[in-house]
Amino acid sequence: MCGIVGYIGTQPAASEILLAGLQKLEYRGYDSAGIATISEGELHCIRAKGKLHNLQEKVASWNRPASLGIGHTRWATHGKPEEYNAHPHRDTSERLAVVQNGIIENYRELREQLRHHGHTFRSDTDTEVIPHLIADGLPRIQAEGLQAHHPSPLLEAVRQAVCQLQGAFAIAVISADFPDELIVARQQAPLVLGFGQGEFFCASDTPALIPYTRAILPLDNGEIARLTPTGVEVFSFEGNRVRKTPRTLNWNPVMVEKQGFKHFMLKEIYEQPGVVRTCLEQYLNGDWQPGMADSPIHLGLPTDFYNNLEQVQIVACGTSWHAGLVGKYLLEQVAGLPTTVNYASEFRYAPTPLRPNTLTIGVTQSGETADTLAALEMEGTRHSEGAPPPRLLGITNRPESSLSRLVPQIIDTHAGIEIGVAATKTFVAQLVAFYLLALDLAYTRQTLTPEQLHTLIEGLRQLPAELELILESQERYVETLAHDFVDTQDFIFLGRGINFPIALEGALKLKEISYIHAEGYPAGEMKHGPIALLDAKVPVVAIAMPGTVFEKVLSNAQEAKARDALLIGVTPMDEQEAAETFDALLPVPHVDELLSPLLTVVPLQLLAYHIAAHRGLDVDQPRNLAKSVTVE
């Protein structure tokens, strides 16, 4: 979950490039930060506790021109977020430095072994064993002359060191004794190389690279690379050369700027109409009418992908898990396919029994979520003897990520990069992907009539304009309403049917960025225990959309009102019965109940955002969280 960045080239501006890269990666962790550079044959390292601006203030008076360096922004795992635990970490002689994203599971054994060899440790982290391990093997490698078989003793020392590490990691290594080399390695944690003109980069994620280059090369698991001012060489952990070709990233630097918004999260909420419009334009057949032989949806999946399909299982984490719950409702109620939704972290250790003709869908906005990738990898290798290989599908907004190299089929949601830690536009984009998948399956399986299918597709086409209407009409009202909850300590969110996952998502958004305790419940379950929590200090947000459960939700809301709870309703505009029930309204356009989650989630995003902003909190970088969870 940490962010690492590295630079080697001809510019004596490594410090500035590293800091700029870390600024683009700070969403991955912001407990501490540090950089290390090499100049005039010496290793120089500077670190700071807290957010990146603390490091920037230190570096401002640090006159160290260099053309080689590494940097790190930390999300603490082993050891408190203190300066002595900040990266980069160095060996005992302070000639070699390492930054790492990941967790070294066998660091205790390695640390004891290295202490017996005379190495001194200064931190509580697992990472610190890596520079000591490399330094421990380097003299032997140089003495034995192993460099004759390898481009560099440093490369060989790093290769031998990573072969002793257990866990998930991506590392970057520099040494004052090898001032023209940057060595990087990847195992189950993301790492991307960038190719410039006479300069090369590495980073945990592409936003750190796009100001300088769009030519990138993602490393795969078990790969190590040597970067010099003249080029890049890639090897396997076994020492074999790997031939790889860079690809061009279709991004521009503007995509990762705030563009006038106060926070990235607010910008990304406002990007949702465009995201939905782009996704629909990408996959919908604009000329389709009932009676046409061709499918109205083109997801780019093989023609036999749905053959004999009997069930679906979804693996995801966090907000993506909530999207999966909406997907379950759609796949079951629209496409007639039994579906389970699993926390990827639990599925890894208690997988469902093997069943034939099962589609496994992994949902991850970053395409790098460690638990989701591990669950998919496990599912891809286990199948009954003689049975066909499992069908795997990924849903992500990062088609260049590890997910796309793990599963054969991807639905790219076309949401683009999301910087705010609390997912907004990527959640809505994941929902759109599930709608399209369910409708495509419904067409193939003939679980909907052509007329029903056409009606739902036309409803989807109206959604971007309806989302724009919500944003134009509600934000100022929600901002004013949020003032009333600055000191609130507890919230309850209620929903039923397809909007129950939206209640969960609304509660999660509020928890993530405002630090207010919030819980989402199925509205009908309130009287089975949670109603005991209610009083005048606990607001209740209920999602009440006309359809199969509308009257039931209003009835459940009345039960909460009878306990003096303040009621906030997400409900259609001009819905008289709802207006009489709720104390405050967050109105959305009238829409088919089946499509309503794409609208009802937006007022909840705005409510969470403005409550957090009024509380003076860091909306984009909430405490203890990181954007991409790349460790278990």
Find the catalytic residue in 2, 45, 202, 279.
Answer: 2
- Measured from the Cβ of residue 343, the count of other Cβ atoms closer than 10 Å reads 17
What type of residue is 408? P
- Cβ atoms of 239 and 152 closer than 8 Å: no
Has 425 been annotated as catalytic?
no
- Paired with 315 in beta bridges are 342, 362
The closest alpha carbon to 103, from 226, 187, 204, belongs to 187
- Which of the 8 DSSP states describes residue 204? S
User: Structure tokens of 363?
Assistant: 């949902």
The closest alpha carbon to 360, from 335, 377, 385, belongs to 377
* Euclidean distance between CA atoms 602 and 620, whole angstroms: 17
Report how far apart the first and last C-alpha atoms of the chain are (Å, whole number): 10
Find the catalytic residue in 267, 328, 511, 627.
Answer: 627
* Euclidean distance between CA atoms 97 and 75, whole angstroms: 19
- Cβ atoms of 104 and 167 closer than 8 Å: yes
- Cβ atoms of 2 and 127 closer than 8 Å: no
Backbone angles phi, psi at 299, to 5 degrees: -90, -5
Helices 107-116 and 129-144, packing angle to 10 deg: 50
Q: Between the CA of residue 614 and those of 423, 461, 568, 621, what are the distances in Å? A: 20, 35, 19, 15
Has 262 been annotated as catalytic?
no
The closest alpha carbon to 325, from 110, 117, 497, 146, belongs to 497
* Euclidean distance between CA atoms 507 and 533, whole angstroms: 15
- Paired with 45 in beta bridges are 36
* Euclidean distance between CA atoms 371 and 379, whole angstroms: 12
- Measured from the Cβ of residue 400, the count of other Cβ atoms closer than 10 Å reads 18
Helical ranges in 515-596 per DSSP H = 550-561, 576-581
- Paired with 541 in beta bridges are 493, 568
3-state helix, strand, coil in the chain (%, to 5): 40, 20, 35
Cβ within 8 Å of residue 178, ≥6 positions away: 152, 153, 154
Tally helices (H) and strands (E) across the chain: 17, 24
- Cβ atoms of 251 and 216 closer than 8 Å: no
Backbone angles phi, psi at 201, to 5 degrees: -135, 160
Helix, coil or strand: residue 626: coil
Which residues form the catalytic set?
Answer: 2, 627
